[in-house]
């Protein structure tokens, strides 16, 4: 395939077929939101939109969270798919590097991106992790993994390594402290920083209300 729009359309269909109905907050509509967030952010940046769109569409295909922590599955699946469409090797390399670097790896770790396109897709993915949608996804994920919703006896941990972060089975509320509330200060682009501000405040109010209801128990 040589027409860029045809490649994007075929990739949309491929990802939709793979992820429709997924129950942990990584379903097709997550990909759809990240794709659209990424396009909105890219409108303010001088980025290669073809690379941004394909990386956004393919970023959670083969995610380590669903392959026993194996981080090589995602980039490999994306590479095979893009090769089958005859996408230029330099574009495939850029897209697969973005997918490899994208994931959050724990509070005390870095998840630096080596390209502007990567920064845009990471910001777009992280916007979908915060705010009302982020809260909904987080509880969906916790339920999917059989986690407790909240346990006041288990304190959040700020993980220093990706291994420790991946091994955690803590209650879902802890994830707010281990990741979600840290994201607004880790956005790269001005567009994402602005959107993140309001979504962050909404999570703070959600938590305040949650504890107020809990503390009213007698
Ligand atoms: P990342 O690659 O940064 O992990 P994803 O798009 O794969 O981003 O989705 C991460 C989302 O999955 C989180 O924002 C959260 O909603 C959910 N999630 C991941 N780990 C946990 C966890 N331990 N507890 C609750 N939710 C989680
Ligand atoms: Ni994602």
The CATH number given to whatever domain includes residue 132 is: 1.10.3210.50
The CA 159 to ligand 2 mean position distance, Å, reads 20
Residue 90 CA to residue 94 CA, distance in Å, equals: 6
Q: Relative to the CA of 128, which ligand 1 atom is closest?
A: 14
The CA 25 to ligand 2 mean position distance, Å, reads 9
- Please tell me if the CB atom of residue 104 comes closer than 6 angstroms to any atom of ligand 1: yes
> What is the pLDDT, as a whole number, of residue 202?
98
Region for 179 from its dihedrals, namely left if φ exceeds 0, alpha if ψ lies in -120 to 50, beta otherwise: alpha
Closest CA to 60 of 40, 82, 31: 31
The CA 216 to ligand 2 mean position distance, Å, reads 36
Q: Relative to the CA of 30, which ligand 1 atom is closest?
A: 6
- Please tell me if the CB atom of residue 106 comes closer than 6 angstroms to any atom of ligand 1: no
Q: What is the arithmetic mean of pLDDT over 25-32?
A: 97
Structure tokens at 174: 């802890």
Q: Place 92 in a pLDDT band, splitting at 50, 70 and 90.
A: very high
Q: What is the arithmetic mean of pLDDT over 62-73?
A: 88
HSE-CB at 9 with a 13 A cutoff on CA atoms is: 6
Q: Place 1 in a pLDDT band, splitting at 50, 70 and 90.
A: confident
> What is the pLDDT, as a whole number, of residue 66?
86
Q: Relative to the CA of 129, which ligand 1 atom is closest?
A: 14
Structural domain boundaries enclosing 192: 4-215
Q: What is the arithmetic mean of pLDDT over 174-200?
A: 98
Q: How many domains does the chain have?
A: 1
* CB neighbourhood size of 12 (10 A): 17
The CA 209 to ligand 2 mean position distance, Å, reads 27
Mutate to test the pocket of ligand 1, among 28, 107, 141, 142 (most ligand atoms within 8 A of CB): 141
Q: Relative to the CA of 168, which ligand 1 atom is closest?
A: 23
> What is the pLDDT, as a whole number, of residue 218?
85
| Virtual torsion, Cα 110, 115, 119, 124, nearest 10 deg | -130
> What is the pLDDT, as a whole number, of residue 90?
98
Q: Whose CA is nearest to atom 22 of ligand 1?
A: 175
């Amino acid at each position: 395939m040589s027409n860029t729009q045809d490649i994007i359309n075929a990739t949309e269909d491929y990802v939709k077929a793979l992820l429709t109905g997924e129950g942990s907050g990584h379903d097709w509509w997550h990909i759809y939101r990240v794709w659209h967030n990424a396009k909105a952010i890219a409108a303010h940046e001088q980025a290669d939109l073809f690379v941004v769109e394909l990386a956004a569409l393919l970023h959670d295909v083969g995610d380590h969270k669903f392959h026993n922590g194996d981080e090589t599955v995602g980039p490999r699946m994306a590479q095979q798919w893009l090769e089958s469409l005859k996408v230029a090797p330099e574009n495939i390399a850029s897209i697969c590097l973005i997918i490899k670097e994208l994931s959050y790896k724990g509070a005390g770790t870095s998840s630096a991106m080596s390209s502007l396109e990567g920064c845009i897709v990471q910001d777009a993915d992280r916007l979908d992790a915060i705010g009302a949608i982020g809260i909904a996804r987080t509880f969906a994920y916790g339920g999917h993994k059989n986690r407790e919703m909240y346990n006041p006896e288990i304190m959040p941990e700020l993980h220093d390594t990706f291994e420790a972060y991946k091994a955690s089975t803590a209650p879902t509320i802890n994830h707010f402290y281990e990741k979600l509330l840290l994201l607004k200060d880790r956005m790269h682009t001005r567009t994402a920083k602005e959107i993140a501000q309001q979504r962050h405040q909404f999570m703070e109010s959600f938590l305040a209300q949650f504890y107020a209801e809990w503390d009213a128990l007698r």
